[in-house]
Structure 1
Amino acid sequence: SDESHTGEFIAQIVLKAINLIGWSHFAGVTSDNTGNTRIACQILCAEIKTLIQVPDICHHLNLLCKDITQLSMFSMMIKHLRSIITYFRKSHAATDALNKARKSMNINRGLEGIGKTRFATVCILALSLKRCFPTLRQIVDTHQVKFPSHKSGLTGLLMSSSSHSLDFESQITRFTLILAPIAKSIACLESSRTDLSDISLFYFAIGATLKQIFDNNNNPFSPEEAGQIRAIFNSQFRKALSEGPTDAPICHNPLNELMQGRD
């Protein structure tokens, strides 16, 4: 369309579809945080009083992943992670060596590809590399894979006898410890069977998991690092739920069958 996609324009397009199907078939409306889509949601809710404007929780959780991955404590690890993944995606010989070693060790899945649109993808990459660490070390130790000169530093990250390799694995473990609960929550909340109560339930579960990690005496984060992650989580929680367009996700929480019968 050559028309400007203002909030009013989007709302009228959506309203035509709702009128065609029937108001009674719609209970809520959601969008990302762009100005025109938020305005469209507000117009729709003003027009149809029974509509609930629901926060796009998966979008908020992806932003939570984005903000955490941009912390300086993870920057070097993510740089190395992307370099390793990129090399194996482009080198057929390296991929073949990895697949053969993987099968001999009964590791079913290999390295994941790099995504461009979802920030939780970085966590999926890290989990896949962590899963394949034994095979990666084997093929590097036995010289089945040789990185080019401009990537020679990656060899030390994957050699079993290298202290850099142990540190790299430790950094990946730290990263996935924080990001995995968020990535798993996004996958669950994208289900077609998700309801309003699941929004706050999964957000609370992420917060509780982070608290358990940081309260553990053996947790791998300094107080300053834990504080940075907490601040990011609290900021996104506030935007999504505390200052969100509706209290419905929290109000529906007691109705969730997982919460019933609990104090």
Structure 2
Amino acid sequence: MSDNIIPEKLKTGGRPKKPIWRFFEQGDEVDKGHYIATCLACNQTFRPGKTAIMEKHIINNCSKVDHSVREAVKYMVEMREESSNFTSTKRKGSQVEKDQTTLANFYENSELGGERKGVIDVALIKAFVCCGLPWHLIDHPFFIELLRQLRPNYNLPDRKTLINTLLTEEILRVSVKCYKLLDKEDYLTLVLDDIGAQKFAGIVTDAGSNVHAARNLLSEKFPHILNIRCIAHSLNLITKDLMKHAFAKRIIQWYMVIVTYFKKSHRPKELLDLKIQEKRILGGGLKTYLDTRWTMVHEMLDSISRLEICLKEIVNENPNVIASEAVKTIINRKRGFFNDVCDLANIMKPIKEAILNLESNKATLADCYFFLAYLGQSINKIPEDDHVAFRQHAIKTFNEHFKLYNFDEYLLTYYIHPRYRGTGVKKSKTIYRRIQGAAARIWQQMLKIPDIAAYLKEYKHSKKESAEVLLMQLGEFHLKTIPYNSPYNSNVSTPLNWWKMCIPIPPYLQLLAIKLFSIIPHAANCEQIWSICGWMIGKRRTRLSVDNLEAMSKIHSYYITNIKPELPNYGKDQTAEEIRTNLNNSFRNIEDDEIDEYDEEEMAEIVACPFTDNSEQSLSQQLEILNVLDLDLMFRNNPVANKQLDDDELDNFI
């Protein structure tokens, strides 16, 4: 009888395996209780296999893991975080009922509770990432002394723990939070295969050769995905090209003489600040010139233009304090300096306004066309007698970049925008054929999507018949017949929402419009991330690994986007916008500190250098946008033309 009894399996000691091990093969033991882990999907090995690192690999890095496995791991992390938050909240809610021993965590010399230490650990990694602090600071004696003065019983992690444990755990938490947020968004920037190629309307990148090649590869593989250049990046390139002209270079050089002197000289800076307060001039002091801030050129020129009276009064009233002859020469003796600053600022203003408007998540391909027209009109208004060479240089620069956006897709979107409705488009059979051709080509590619092709079966149309109906609807839109005659107000609606409410039968033009207006024509968020990465690496952190740099940029972007909830103590009585303003101001102070010291001999040499225009002389040419749009009809005869183009004025502008 005893022979038939199956012996019970002996229980092994130690903690049970974490659920993440279901997706990894356990290898040899490398340390007590720690084993080699090999991913079952991609065979990548981790020595040893730590839970946070394995979960991060499945969620963020493994390209071969099944989508259902990734979702399962995200769910596990999410549930663990919710359980941790629930336990913390429950304990806080019941602390009155418990013994007073829990209050010991609030006393300076008491032992820290595990939850409290975890909160401080998270705050610590936030500070290191968002302040750009080098990892080795964690081992610096004075930094350790500071934290021990603040909290004597907080055991500061070492450098290895900070990087390998705290950073990994935080990127894991942030990744799960981001996935939850993206589930609720309309526009996603995740892996193409995970979402489905049919959900993508276009791909937007800057002008780099590598990303341009990537755009072409995607367009060839998925013809229905439109290939779009980042408009904000192109406007920045226009700014840089304009600044290459000798006229603009001279103004920037003289400006830097003034700003360097007043930023680096204590008493003159104090006098300027007092004069600004006395005259109640808004907008602050002189701005520092930065290549990476795309709107900075206009802000810089505008700042010195606003402070012209202040600067002249300071120089004339305090000749013994303002010791720089170079500064005195520019402010008082350089004939026309402030007039030239004003002229250049007027050219840069529409570029700044265009960048700010087109970096919005509500920007469309139609807005690209409109603001390029606005910029073209400002260049067209440069006085021919005062700055002949610079005017031709500006026209040449504009034409070179306009070629990249004079595509039929942009023109079509401008034509079917419910506010613009093609205003200013020249009445030409050639141009209208371009618009019709673009609509037909895009529609032909859209028919390869099963959900779109299903409408042809419903209305019993062939591909050719559906295209003919589409072009007929395009004409009806131009004539404002029903249902295309609904009013449009940008304060309460968007072009995308307007078209969703406009339901023609069959809905061919509606489907085309929804596709075009779903595209946000900029990659500003990507550009910001690249800037963040460059700032994090700086000049010294050349050994920062790619994985850690990626993790830090993700954490930084998430914290800045959700800045108020992530700073519960600092932001208690402030709005998110106020916190961001304070954050930006803190970085501006850092930028001011990085200005080179003022060298009078060097600055005097710059001022004394005669102005020579070595720029290549361009043949007289006209703006190429005039072949498509009548800028006089759009702008010159409109009283709003010389005002800032904010949302309220735009409705009256067209």
Instruction: Give the TM-score, by structure 2 length.
Output: 0.34
Matched, 1:231 2:396: yes
Q: Is the 8 A contact 1:97 1:145 kept in 2?
A: no
**Which residue does the alignment assign to 1:221?**
387
Structure 1 spans left out of the alignment, 5+ residues: 1-11
Instruction: Report deviation, 1:257.
Output: 3.7
Matched, 1:62 2:243: no
- The correspondence of residues 21-32 of structure 1 with structure 2, limited to 5 A, is 21-32=195-206
Shift of the 146–80 alpha-carbon distance from structure 1 to 2, 3 Å rule, reads: farther
Looking at structure 1, the residues matched to 369 and 320 of structure 2 have their Cα atoms a distance apart, in angstroms, of 46
Q: Is the 8 A contact 1:30 1:55 kept in 2?
A: yes
Shift of the 15–36 alpha-carbon distance from structure 1 to 2, 3 Å rule, reads: farther
**Which residue does the alignment assign to 1:179?**
348
Q: Is the 8 A contact 2:268 2:322 kept in 1?
A: no
Equivalent residue letter for 2:409: A
Instruction: Report deviation, 1:194.
Output: 0.4
Shift of the 262–232 alpha-carbon distance from structure 1 to 2, 3 Å rule, reads: closer
**Which residue does the alignment assign to 1:17?**
191
- The correspondence of residues 30-49 of structure 1 with structure 2, limited to 5 A, is 30-49=204-223
Equivalent residue letter for 2:365: L
Looking at structure 1, the residues matched to 414 and 422 of structure 2 have their Cα atoms a distance apart, in angstroms, of 12
Instruction: Report deviation, 1:36.
Output: 1.0
Q: Is the 8 A contact 1:58 1:189 kept in 2?
A: yes
Matching residue within 361, 368, 392 for 1:199: 368
Matched, 1:211 2:380: yes
**Which residue does the alignment assign to 1:127?**
302
Instruction: Summarize deviations over 1:158-186 as a string: whole Å, max 9, x none.
Output: 2xxx342x511011012112221112211
Looking at structure 2, the residues matched to 139 and 147 of structure 1 have their Cα atoms a distance apart, in angstroms, of 8
**Which residue does the alignment assign to 1:103?**
277
Looking at structure 1, the residues matched to 251 and 243 of structure 2 have their Cα atoms a distance apart, in angstroms, of 10
Q: Is the 8 A contact 2:259 2:288 kept in 1?
A: yes
Structure 2 spans left out of the alignment, 5+ residues: 1-62, 64-187, 425-654
Instruction: Report deviation, 1:251.
Output: 1.6
Looking at structure 1, the residues matched to 268 and 198 of structure 2 have their Cα atoms a distance apart, in angstroms, of 56
Shift of the 144–249 alpha-carbon distance from structure 1 to 2, 3 Å rule, reads: farther
Shift of the 108–145 alpha-carbon distance from structure 1 to 2, 3 Å rule, reads: farther
Instruction: Summarize deviations over 1:85-120 as a string: whole Å, max 9, x none.
Output: 222333343332212111111101222222132454
Looking at structure 2, the residues matched to 43 and 252 of structure 1 have their Cα atoms a distance apart, in angstroms, of 24
Matching residue within 133, 145, 156 for 2:329: 156
Matched, 1:82 2:256: yes
| Higher Rg | 2
Please give the secondary structure, in 2, of the residue aligned with 1:53: strand
Looking at structure 1, the residues matched to 413 and 269 of structure 2 have their Cα atoms a distance apart, in angstroms, of 48
Instruction: Give the TM-score, by structure 1 length.
Output: 0.80
Q: Which has the higher contact order (CA 8 A, sep 6+)?
A: 1
Looking at structure 2, the residues matched to 67 and 226 of structure 1 have their Cα atoms a distance apart, in angstroms, of 13
Please give the secondary structure, in 2, of the residue aligned with 1:30: strand
Matching residue within 119, 122, 139 for 2:314: 139
**Which residue does the alignment assign to 2:289?**
114
**Which residue does the alignment assign to 1:250?**
411
Please give the secondary structure, in 2, of the residue aligned with 1:241: coil
Instruction: Report deviation, 1:126.
Output: 0.8
Matching residue within 324, 336, 347 for 1:167: 336
Equivalent residue letter for 2:244: Q
Looking at structure 1, the residues matched to 308 and 326 of structure 2 have their Cα atoms a distance apart, in angstroms, of 16
Looking at structure 2, the residues matched to 145 and 248 of structure 1 have their Cα atoms a distance apart, in angstroms, of 62
Instruction: Summarize deviations over 1:128-154 as a string: whole Å, max 9, x none.
Output: 111111111222222188455xx5211
User: Comparing 59-68 with 88-97, which one deviates more in the overlay?
Assistant: 88-97
Identity of aligned residues (%): 23
Instruction: Report deviation, 1:234.
Output: 0.9
Looking at structure 1, the residues matched to 423 and 365 of structure 2 have their Cα atoms a distance apart, in angstroms, of 19
Equivalent residue letter for 1:221: H
Looking at structure 2, the residues matched to 97 and 78 of structure 1 have their Cα atoms a distance apart, in angstroms, of 23
Please give the secondary structure, in 1, of the residue aligned with 2:381: helix
Shift of the 96–145 alpha-carbon distance from structure 1 to 2, 3 Å rule, reads: farther
Equivalent residue letter for 1:231: K
Shift of the 23–128 alpha-carbon distance from structure 1 to 2, 3 Å rule, reads: same
**Which residue does the alignment assign to 1:7?**
none
Looking at structure 1, the residues matched to 415 and 392 of structure 2 have their Cα atoms a distance apart, in angstroms, of 30
Q: Is the 8 A contact 2:414 2:421 kept in 1?
A: no
Q: Is the 8 A contact 2:301 2:341 kept in 1?
A: yes
Looking at structure 1, the residues matched to 347 and 395 of structure 2 have their Cα atoms a distance apart, in angstroms, of 11
Looking at structure 2, the residues matched to 170 and 253 of structure 1 have their Cα atoms a distance apart, in angstroms, of 36
Shift of the 83–227 alpha-carbon distance from structure 1 to 2, 3 Å rule, reads: same
